[in-house]
Amino acid sequence: MTLDHLETSNEQQATSNEKPATRFIACTIAYDGTHFCGSQRQNNGRSVQGEVERALEEVLKHSAPISMAGRTDSGVHALGQCIRFATTNPMPVERFPLALNRVLDKAVRVRDSRVVDENFHPRFSAKSRVYRYWIDNALVPSPLLRGIAGHVIKPLDANVMGDAVGEFLGERDFAAWQSAGSPNGPTIRNVHRLDVRRSEAFGTALLEIEIEANAFLYQMVRNIVGALIRVGMGVLTAEEIRHLTAGHDRTQCPPPAPPQGLCLLEVKY
């Protein structure tokens, strides 16, 4: 074998021995949370994380733990949850949604995928999150909404509810609006936007409550919605909400709204 051939052979062998480059992939996923124990992996049932990681391992041929933009509870849905994982699989990034959706449970869909920087983190890189809560306010609840809306029989005054949203806007201590079981840590959050409006969707008396903040405490959205529902019923006033917030005592606040009405709409970066 000539020297030239030997050098070529060595170069080919070196190339073949090189490890594939690691890429970091972010995906937007949507899911129906009805039959999951929550978004994060838990010991008491099927989780969205567990289902996605199972599908990733099947497609990528290696395990790929994911990080997520935020945790959603059992029964809570998402249209814009963001996940990130690392892979050495050379599959073109635009093919990930199709490949993953073929093997995922139909309650979970990958909407898009993109290559991101190693330093990108779905949770810590996020600037804000947007949630929407649907309330079926008809006397007879719509069967089409039973899995995606909370039902309130008593008529709600959307205008009065809208007048009270200012008590939640801005940067403040939301300790009173986090549920028991929250991790210890700062309770200051900044709510950028909180809207209450009526919707004509599904041909019924439907209310939409949409809220955007830099971050949320555990069950903070459902607790705020629970309070606004009582405002709409006329059993709680904006001034009373102000006192509850100042008291920092969750036990004095109304119970949370049911989980099925809540959906993570979008994570903004």
Q: Which positions are catalytic?
A: 73
Nearest to 189 by CA among 211, 221, 217: 217
Can you read off the two tokens belonging to residue 129?
């999150």
Contact 37, 45 (CB under 8 A): yes
**Could you tell me what percentage of the chain is helix, strand and coil, using 3-state DSSP and rounding each to the nearest 5?**
35, 30, 40
Nearest to 33 by CA among 48, 52, 18: 48
For the chain, report the end-to-end CA distance as a whole number of angstroms. 57
Residue keyed to tokens 């949203």? 165
